C-alpha cells in the first residue's frame, strides 16, 4: 500500500505524513501540488493506494485532480480535505462519487489522528457497500413482454412514525423479476417505460398487486396504508381517479388506505389536466404525496398548484443531516414549510442511527429508510413487523412529561 498526501501547506503535509507513517506500514509520499502528484499517480497506481488531497492548491486544484483521477480510472481510496467552506467539499464529494471514485471521506481541517486511523481501516476494507451501478437500459420489446408475462413484482418498504415507532404504511417499489438477469431495479426501466408510453399498464399492474396485498394484510389484521408511485405520465387521462376508485372498491378498501406518490420525472405536459385529476383524487380521499421534495423533480410550483397532503423530503437532504450544516438548513426549511402548509411530513433515506436520532427531535412525522428496513417481498412483511415491535421500544425517546 502507498499513501499520497497532496497539500501545499508544508506543516499540515508533514504532520499527516508523520502520523500516517506511525499508523501504518505504508510508503508515504508527500506532494506540494497537484501537478507533480498527478504525474506520479498517472505513471503507476494500484487499487490499494490511498490519496489524501487538499482541495485548495495553487497549481492544480482538488477539483481538477478529482476529474483526472476519474479519467485515469483510479481504483484506490480517496480522501478530500479542505479548510474551505463545507459546501464546496460536499459538491466535490458528489463529483467524485459521480465519477466512480472510491471516496472514503471528505474532511475539514484539521484532521485528527483518530480520523486518520479510521481512514486507514476503511481503505483496508476495500469492498465498501457500493452504490448500485447504473446499468444500461434493457431492450424495449423485453419490457413489453415483462408486463404481459407478469414479471413485475412489488417490494414494500415500511414507513414508521418518528414519535411512536408505529408502522403506518409501506411504499410499493416495483422490481422486474427477469428470467435471465434476476432482480432488476426500477432505475433501469422506469424512464424507458415512460418513453415507450408503457406507464399506464405498468402503474396499474403495480397498483393492483399492491391493493391485493393490502387487502390480504387487512384480513390478517394488519392495517397499512400502501403508497404507490405514479409519474406525471399517468395524469393524462381524465378518468384516472375513477379507475383508481374502481380498484379500491373491488377489494373493499377505503380510499384513505391508498397514497399516491407523485414525481415530475419529465416536463409536466398538461398542467390543467393534472390539476383536475389530482383534485378529484383528493376529493375522493385518496392520499397524495409530493415525492423527492427539494430536487429538480419536485418544485414549489407543484406545491402551489396541486392538492398534496403529504410531503416527502428527498433522501439527499436526510442522510447525514446531523453533521452537515447546509443539509440541516435545507431539511429544516422543507419541514417548516410543509408544516405551515398543514402537510404530513416524511423523511426518506434514513440510513443510520444518527439520522434516526436527529429525526427524534426534528418534528418530522414519518421516517423511511434502510435503518428501519430495506424494501422486502410481501411475504416477509409479517415477520419483519414482529421483529420491529421488539426493536422499536429501544429506539423511541420517552415522551417529555
Ligand atoms: P423513490 O420513490 O424515491 O423510492 C425510494 C428509493 O430509495 C427506492 O429505490 C428505495 O429502495 C431507496 N431507498 C430506500 N431507503 C433508502 C436509504 O435509506 N438509503 C438509500 N440510499 N436509498 C434508499 P428503488 O426501489 O430503486 O426505486 C427507485 C425509484 O424508482 C423510486 O424512487 C421511484 O421514483 C421509482 N419507482 C419505483 N417503483 C415505481 C413504480 O411502481 N412506479 C413509478 N412510476 N416509479 C417507481
Ligand atoms: Ca416514492
Ligand atoms: Ca422519493
pLDDT: is 121 or 216 the higher one? Answer: 216
Ligand 1 midpoint to CA 173 (Å): 6
Cα gap 261→206, rounded to integer Å: 13
Mean pLDDT of 42-60: 91
pLDDT for 61 equals 85
Predicted confidence band of residue 246 (pLDDT cuts 50, 70, 90): very high
Distances (CA, A) of 27 to 17, 23, 24, 35, 330: 10, 11, 9, 20, 42
Q: Is 157 in the pocket of ligand 1 (CB under 6 A)?
A: yes
Ligand 1 atom 30 nearest Cα: 186
DSSP, collapsed to helix, strand or coil, labels residue 39 as helix
pLDDT for 94 equals 84
Ligand 1 midpoint to CA 188 (Å): 12
Residue 139 is given by DSSP the state: P
pLDDT: is 343 or 129 the higher one? Answer: 343
- SS3 of 259-302: the string is EEEEECCCCCCCHHHHHHHHHHHHHCCCEEEEEEECCCCCCHHH
Q: Is 230 in the pocket of ligand 1 (CB under 6 A)?
A: yes
Ligand 1 atom 23 nearest Cα: 349
Percent of the chain at pLDDT > 70 equals 93
342-366 pLDDT, tens digit per residue, is 999 999 999 999 999 999 999 999 9
pLDDT for 129 equals 46
* pLDDT at 271 exceeding the cut of 80: no
Taking the CA atoms of 281, 316, 94 and 48 in sequence, report the sign of the dihedral they define: negative
Contact (Cβ atoms closer than 8 angstroms) between residue 55 and residue 19: no
β-bridge partners, 247: none
Contact (Cβ atoms closer than 8 angstroms) between residue 286 and residue 260: yes
* pLDDT at 298 exceeding the cut of 80: no
Residue 378 is given by DSSP the state: G
Ligand 1 atom 19 nearest Cα: 349
Mean pLDDT of 237-260: 96
Ligand 2 midpoint to CA 164 (Å): 22
DSSP, collapsed to helix, strand or coil, labels residue 165 as coil
pLDDT for 130 equals 44
Predicted confidence band of residue 252 (pLDDT cuts 50, 70, 90): very high
Q: What's domain 140-400's architecture?
A: Alpha-Beta Barrel (3.20)
Ligand nearest to the CA of 289: 2
Mean pLDDT of 39-63: 90
399: closest CA among 367, 360, 346, 372?
Answer: 360
Cα gap 371→391, rounded to integer Å: 11
Distances (CA, A) of 176 to 189, 370, 393: 9, 21, 35
Contact (Cβ atoms closer than 8 angstroms) between residue 178 and residue 184: yes
Contact (Cβ atoms closer than 8 angstroms) between residue 59 and residue 33: yes
DSSP, collapsed to helix, strand or coil, labels residue 375 as coil
Cα gap 138→142, rounded to integer Å: 7
Ligand 3 midpoint to CA 292 (Å): 4
Q: Is 262 in the pocket of ligand 1 (CB under 6 A)?
A: no
* pLDDT at 30 exceeding the cut of 90: yes
Ligand 1 midpoint to CA 101 (Å): 23
81-116 pLDDT, tens digit per residue, is 887 677 788 788 888 888 889 988 888 888 888 889
Ligand 3 midpoint to CA 45 (Å): 38
> Percent helix, strand, coil in the chain (nearest 5)?
45, 20, 35
Helix (H) or strand (E) holding 80: strand 77-82
Q: Is 291 in the pocket of ligand 1 (CB under 6 A)?
A: yes
pLDDT for 344 equals 98
Atom of ligand 1 nearest to the CA of 371: 18
171: closest CA among 389, 375, 381, 388?
Answer: 375
* pLDDT at 265 exceeding the cut of 70: no
pLDDT for 296 equals 67
Q: Is 234 in the pocket of ligand 1 (CB under 6 A)?
A: no
2-125 domain in CATH 3.40.50.2300? yes
pLDDT for 107 equals 83
pLDDT for 399 equals 60
Domain residue spans of the chain: 2-125, 140-400
Q: Rounded to two decimals, what is the model's pTM? A: 0.76
Ligand nearest to the CA of 261: 2
Mean pLDDT of 229-233: 90
Ligand 3 midpoint to CA 172 (Å): 11
The C-alpha cell at 68 is 483526472
Quickly count: other Cβ atoms within 10 Å of residue 218's Cβ. 16
pLDDT for 319 equals 94
Taking the CA atoms of 195, 198, 202 and 203 in sequence, report the sign of the dihedral they define: positive
Mean pLDDT of 373-387: 97
Atom of ligand 1 nearest to the CA of 131: 21
Residue of 134, 153, 229, 258 to mutate, ligand 1, most atoms within 8 A of C-beta = 229
pLDDT for 105 equals 85
Distances (CA, A) of 280 to 13, 44, 62, 308: 64, 63, 52, 12
Ligand 2 midpoint to CA 358 (Å): 22
pLDDT for 51 equals 96
Ligand 2 midpoint to CA 171 (Å): 7
Q: Is 231 in the pocket of ligand 1 (CB under 6 A)?
A: yes
* pLDDT at 128 exceeding the cut of 70: no
Atom of ligand 1 nearest to the CA of 370: 18
Ligand nearest to the CA of 206: 1
The region, left, alpha or beta by phi > 0 then psi within -120 to 50, assigned to residue 363 is left
* pLDDT at 131 exceeding the cut of 50: no
The C-alpha cell at 344 is 404530513
Predicted confidence band of residue 141 (pLDDT cuts 50, 70, 90): confident
* pLDDT at 401 exceeding the cut of 60: no
Cα gap 266→398, rounded to integer Å: 44
* pLDDT at 279 exceeding the cut of 60: yes
pLDDT for 307 equals 92
β-bridge partners, 182: 178
Phi, psi of 300 (to 5 degrees): -65, -30
Residue 112 is given by DSSP the state: P
| Mean pLDDT, the chain, integer | 90
173-212 pLDDT, tens digit per residue, is 999 999 888 999 998 899 889 889 999 999 999 999 999 9
Ligand 1 atom 9 nearest Cα: 173
Q: Is 298 in the pocket of ligand 1 (CB under 6 A)?
A: no
Range list of H helices, 58-155: 62-71, 86-98, 113-124, 140-148
Ligand 1 midpoint to CA 349 (Å): 10
Q: Is 263 in the pocket of ligand 1 (CB under 6 A)?
A: yes
Quickly count: other Cβ atoms within 10 Å of residue 5's Cβ. 24
* pLDDT at 40 exceeding the cut of 70: yes
Amino acid at each position: 500500500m502507498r499513501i499520497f498526501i497532496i497539500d501545499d501547506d508544508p506543516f499540515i503535509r508533514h504532520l499527516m505524513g508523520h502520523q500516517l507513517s506511525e499508523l501504518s506500514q505504508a510508503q508515504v509520499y508527500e506532494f506540494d501540488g497537484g501537478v507533480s502528484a498527478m504525474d506520479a499517480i498517472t505513471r503507476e497506481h494500484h487499487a490499494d493506494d490511498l490519496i489524501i488531497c487538499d482541495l485548495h492548491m495553487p497549481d492544480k486544484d482538488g477539483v481538477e485532480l478529482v476529474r483526472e483521477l476519474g479519467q485515469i480510472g483510479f481504483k484506490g481510496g480517496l480522501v478530500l480535505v479542505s479548510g474551505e467552506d463545507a459546501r464546496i467539499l460536499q459538491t466535490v464529494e458528489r463529483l467524485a462519487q459521480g465519477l466512480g471514485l472510491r471516496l472514503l471521506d471528505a474532511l475539514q481541517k484539521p484532521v485528527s489522528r483518530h480520523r486518520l486511523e479510521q481512514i486507514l481501516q476503511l481503505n483496508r476494507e476495500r469492498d465498501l457497500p457500493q452504490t448500485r451501478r447504473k446499468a444500461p437500459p434493457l431492450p424495449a420489446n423485453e419490457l413489453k413482454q415483462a408486463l404481459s408475462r407478469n414479471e413485475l413484482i412489488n417490494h414494500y418498504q415500511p414507513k414508521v412514525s418518528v414519535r411512536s415507532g408505529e408502522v403506518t404504511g409501506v411504499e410499493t417499489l416495483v422490481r422486474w423479476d427477469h428470467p435471465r438477469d434476476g432482480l432488476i431495479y426500477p432505475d433501469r426501466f422506469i424512464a424507458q417505460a415512460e418513453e415507450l408510453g408503457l406507464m399506464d399498464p405498468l402503474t396499474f399492474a403495480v397498483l393492483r398487486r399492491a391493493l391485493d396485498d393490502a387487502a390480504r394484510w387487512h384480513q390478517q389484521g394488519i392495517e397499512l396504508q400502501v403508497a404507490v408511485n405514479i409519474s406525471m405520465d399517468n395524469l393524462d387521462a381524465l378518468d384516472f381517479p375513477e379507475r383508481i376508485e374502481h380498484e379500491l372498491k373491488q377489494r373493499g378498501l377505503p380510499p384513505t388506505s391508498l397514497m399516491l406518490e407523485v414525481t415530475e420525472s419529465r416536463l409536466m405536459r398538461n398542467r390543467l389536466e393534472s390539476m383536475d385529476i389530482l383534485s378529484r383524487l383528493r376529493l375522493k380521499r385518496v392520499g397524495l404525496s409530493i415525492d423527492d421534495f427539494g430536487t429538480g423533480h419536485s418544485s414549489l410550483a407543484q406545491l402551489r398548484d396541486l392538492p398534496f397532503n403529504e410531503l416527502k423530503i428527498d433522501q439527499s437532504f436526510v442522510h447525514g443531516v446531523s453533521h452537515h450544516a447546509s443539509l440541516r438548513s435545507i431539511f429544516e426549511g422543507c419541514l417548516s414549510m410543509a408544516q405551515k402548509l398543514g402537510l404530513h411530513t416524511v423523511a426518506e433515506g434514513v440510513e443510520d442511527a444518527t439520522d434516526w436520532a436527529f429525526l427524534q427531535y426534528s418534528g418530522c412525522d414519518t421516517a423511511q429508510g434502510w435503518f428501519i428496513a430495506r424494501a422486502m417481498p410481501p411475504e416477509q412483511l409479517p415477520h419483519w413487523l414482529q421483529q420491529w415491535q421488539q426493536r422499536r421500544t429501544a429506539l423511541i425517546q420517552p415522551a417529555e412529561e
